[in-house]
Amino acid sequence: MKSIIIYESTHHENTKKLVDAIVKKHNVETASIENAESIDLPGYDTIGLAAGIAFGKFYKRMEEFAAKIPSGSRVFLLYTCGNPSGGYVKSITRTLESNDVKVMGTYGCRGYDTYGPFKLVGGIAKGHPTEEEIYGAVSFYDKISRGE
């Protein structure tokens, strides 16, 4: 299975830690969102979209990129967030499914967050993602790669 993960990990590289752990165990290509426009996406069996969360959904550039995923593609989602209150994949999933893209699954975990007012208190979710959370992302990809 030929896979690629497009990622956007800006503040503390939380999401990139998940991506790097998957790449360490599996033969998966990666590209930052800045380089994603030049990728021939139909050449991949599986596409991962990985990003942090801002204002309750995936980063804006990733949300916009999701609209360009070719119809019939198979996509999985990874994210990190300071406060795991849920619902973060609704917007991007709607976008993908409206273009007849199959969402194979989602993995999210906490990530150290110093955005906005959190900076004033030294941030939230310090120490995240933990080794266990990173392992969870790898286990999630293990299942995706086996077609589970």
- The domains of the chain are located at 3-145
Q: Give the predicted TM-score (pTM) of the model.
A: 0.91
Q: What is the pLDDT of residues 56-65, one digit of tens each?
A: 899 999 999 9
Q: How far apart are CA 29 and CA 82, in angstroms?
A: 27
Which residue has 């273009």 as its token pair? 99
Question: Angle CA(113)–CA(3)–CA(81) in degrees, nearest 5?
Answer: 10
Q: Who has greater pLDDT, 14 or 92?
A: 92
Q: What is the pLDDT of residues 61-87, one digit of tens each?
A: 999 999 999 999 999 999 998 777 778
Q: Which pLDDT score is estimated for 121?
A: 55
Write the class of the CATH domain 3-145.
Answer: alpha beta
Residue pair 78/14 in contact (Cβ under 8 Å)? The answer is no
